[in-house]
Chain A
Amino acid sequence: MAKTMDVIREIFGLLFGQDPELRQIIGVTLRMSTLSALVSALVGIPLGVILGSTEFKAKRFVNRILHTLMGLPPVVAGLIVFLFLSRSGPLGTLKLLFTVTAMVIAQIVLITPIMTGLTANIVSVKAPLIHETAAGIGLRPFQRMLYIIYECRVQFVSTLLTGFGRAIAEVGAVQMVGGNVQFKTRVMTTAIMMQTNMGHFEFAIALGIVLLVIAFLINSLVSRIQESAGLA
């Protein structure tokens, strides 16, 4: 019983104390996830808008590829990026392996298709109606696209948040291409895995709690946004 109290005390100490390594790990995680989510959104959302609002010959084929990419296992994405960035790979001279950049790249590979797919779904519902009305008024294709994006803006925010949540929880790919290097590429998920392997459960639990809190906050925000969009 005493041991449990010690453990709880240590966890609280880590959470509210000034453990620099804990805070550093959280900082790297947030930096990486924000960058991954933003870039994925910048690429994925416009692609999704185009996919969801236009008809073209190869559309079914593109959709099939998109769905395959959406289901890409994280470790496979990690492997592909690893092979590209390693010394013996085509991009080896960039020396990007085991850096935050490499982790962001791997996450972009994983998250962009998801953003594209989600966006295409959202847009495909509203786009035909908007398209007809906008074309009927005499708006040009570019203007129509802008209006479609504007009308779906609320859902785009929730898509962005979903991407962020995915980035922060990812462990396979970032472990492979990031290397979990102390002070450099150690993020919450890889740190939890390592500390558990080493048997240092207090640190792992503290990190786990932080991760849970963040994930919970994001999901609440997304739900809130979805609800208000539904009523809008």
Chain B
Amino acid sequence: MISVRDVLVQVGGRVILDIPLLKFEEGRRYGLIGENGSGKTTLLRVLAGTLLPTQGQVTRQNPNSLGYMPQAPYAFSFSVLRNVEMALENTPERRDNAVRALEAVGMRNFLAARGNKLSGGEAQRMAVARMIARPRKLLLLDEPTSSTDIRGTDSIENTLLDYARNSGCTLIFSTHSPAQALRLAQEVIFLHQGKILEKGPALEVLENPQTESARLFLQHWRI
């Protein structure tokens, strides 16, 4: 339900992303893995629409039902509750929905805290709450647990799994951790220097990488 075709992203002559064809199916969960600078963030930004590719097109079925969480999500200077409410329409249920989302990520005690006083991990949990506070058809998350501790990571992963299963939304996330990819994704895509080198069911790609670069990337990881 979202796809890219002939997408090329060039910055100052350097090719950062080069994807001839990539299709995502509705309701499935995809994990993007690869080295730093391999193009994961760029791909997510192109999918989200915050970066226009130098060439190529992105086709979205439900552009208004998209949620994108960048790598270092911004926490506004008002309360955490407000930070989540701002993602919702002003309806009588808004507060309850926001509170429920924050509870899901384990931030019940932070409702009144100022957004700009949160730690990195707390800000990320809050950003996830923003994403799930209302029904969305597509969630794009750029390293959603990069700053969280084990409990926070657990909390976020469980929340995302529940949400994806219950709402049937498509989930596309990037991660540094192959283990997380295995836990969370149904399909794994391996990016290297802006190109897709591997794509397939999570277990297969992670256990049996076909390309040399993927093998190198995964060599220190065992199931």
Contacts and interface: CB of A to CB of B under 8 A. Distances in A.
* Main DSSP-derived SS at the A contact region: helix
Contact of A137 (B49, B86, B116): B86
Contacts of B185: none
B87 A132 contact: no
B72 interface: yes
Nearest to B69: A136
Contacts, number: 47
A151 interface: yes
A138 B70 contact: no
Nearest to B72: A129
A1 interface: no
Nearest to B133: A137
A129 B87 CA distance: 16
B94 to A, nearest CB: 14
B147 to A, nearest CB: 15
B67 interface: yes
A151 B115 CA distance: 11
A132 B71 CA distance: 10
B219 interface: no
A129 B115 CA distance: 14
A201 interface: no
B127 interface: yes
Interface in A132-169: 132-139, 147, 150-151
Nearest to B78: A150
Interface string B26-58: 000000000000000000010011100000000
Given A135-B48, A135-B49, A137-B130, A130 B68 contact: no
Contacts of A151: 76-77
Contact of B70 (A132, A139, A150): A132
A23 interface: no
Interface of A: 126, 129-139, 147, 150-151, 232
29 contacts: A129-B70, A129-B72, A129-B74, A130-B74, A130-B76, A131-B50, A132-B50, A132-B68, A132-B70, A132-B74, A133-B70, A133-B73, A133-B127, A135-B48, A135-B49, A136-B67, A136-B68, A136-B69, A136-B70, A137-B67, A137-B87, A137-B130, A138-B64, A138-B66, A138-B67, A147-B76, A147-B86, A150-B76, A232-B116
Given A139-B86, A232-B77, 6 more contacts: A132-B68, A133-B69, A133-B70, A135-B68, A137-B67, A138-B64
Interface of B: 45, 48-50, 64, 66-70, 72-74, 76-77, 86-87, 116, 127, 130, 140
